[in-house]
Amino acid sequence: MKKWLIPVIILVVIAFGFYRWAVGFNNTAVEYEANAKTAWSNVESSYQRRNDLIGNLVKTVQGAADFERGTLTDVIEARAKATSTTIDANNLSPEKLAAFQEAQSGLSSALSRLLVTVERYPDLKANQNFLELQSQLEGTENRINVARDRFNEQVNIYDIHISKFPNSVLAGWFGFDDMARYSADPGSENAPDVDFDFN
């Protein structure tokens, strides 16, 4: 056997090993990133359901002729802002996620004020359509929390994969960056003063 053949074989084996590692890293990173993007789509879907329910709730409340218009206007404006603030799953930057979160928090706050105000309207509190929408909204809020948690879990799996050494070296070469996580709203450590029981 020729002496020069041994180093060539060693180089080929090393190159093949590097290739297999790079392909494995890339494919796994693509899968984890896709899972995180799908989880984000589920977050947006849950928020869209809430926005749709709020639209129906507003129509029901508008039927109460003497209902406080300022409170209703706040909800309508907050809903418009929340629905206009969207994020492309391919561009989940911390800044865009914070803007999305701020818009959704504004809508949550306006909705809470609306539900508290309804307490002063016995006819509206007894409206079957209103009660059903209120119940669906409560369930949707739970769905939103679950969807956000699942999104954060998927982002965590992806971020760990691309951050571990030596994967972090390949992440830069292949263009994989950390993804933003959904964080708690400012002030969320304080319990909201909202009564959802209108019986």
Nearest to 57 by CA among 70, 76, 44, 74: 76
SS3 call for 165 = coil
Which tens digits make up the pLDDT trace of 5-56? 778 888 888 888 888 888 888 899 999 999 999 999 899 899 889 888 888 8
Average pLDDT, the chain: 82
pTM listed for this prediction: 0.75
Which tens digits make up the pLDDT trace of 116-155? 887 777 777 777 888 888 888 888 888 999 999 999 999 9
**Is 198's pLDDT higher than 50?**
no
Would you mind telling me the total number of residues written for the chain in this entry? Answer: 199
